Amino acid sequence: MVDAAGNVYVSTNGIGVRQGATGAGLGATLESYAPDGRQFWQVQGLLFVDGAWMDPARPNSVYTGNKRFELDLSKPAGQDWKYVGFLSGQFKYPEDPSFSVDDWPGQPTARRVDGRTFLYLTDMYSDHLKIYRFDAKRDGELAILSGYFAGR
């Protein structure tokens, strides 16, 4: 949306247009930009109920079921974290079950294996296990699906 002054307003939900429930409780952001692209503000409604786990390689980096945050515990409460990125890429990795299976995020667990970070996610009912790897040079924050086990 654009207002009369040319300011742009963007809302995201992490999954895009979809009929029915968004499934994984992916949260939303609302942002405002000047015509030249400068960001004025951002409002975040990111987590409903979720678990979190620290990245073993970066203790200030925290994963939830579909997001990454950075901590700076030297800052006051409320300013000691920031949203860094959404882990799922609907256009690059459309086969990610986060976009097609109603599997609400459960507890993430991050592990280092041969120098690489892997993220293991169960759904809230422990019916699914998703395994992700990361390739920061190629995909930035995106988690790359590497395994998926489902009880149903």
In a domain, 2, yes or no: no
In a domain, 3, yes or no: no
Single pTM value for the model: 0.74
The answer to whether residues 149 and 128 touch, using CB atoms and an 8 Å cutoff, is yes
In a domain, 1, yes or no: no
In a domain, 79, yes or no: yes
Provide the number of structural domains found in the chain: 1
pLDDT value of position 12: 78
The answer to whether residues 64 and 36 touch, using CB atoms and an 8 Å cutoff, is no
In a domain, 143, yes or no: yes
In a domain, 124, yes or no: yes
Full residue range of the structural domain in which residue 102 is found = 8-150
pLDDT tier, 22 (very low <50, low <70, confident <90, very high otherwise): very low
Each residue of 61-98: pLDDT tens digit? 999 888 899 999 999 998 999 988 888 888 898 888 87
Residue 102 buriedness (CB in 10 A; 0-12 / 13-18 / 19+) = exposed
In a domain, 75, yes or no: yes
Can you tell me the distance from the alpha carbon of 106 to that of 103, in angstroms, rounded to the nearest whole number? 8
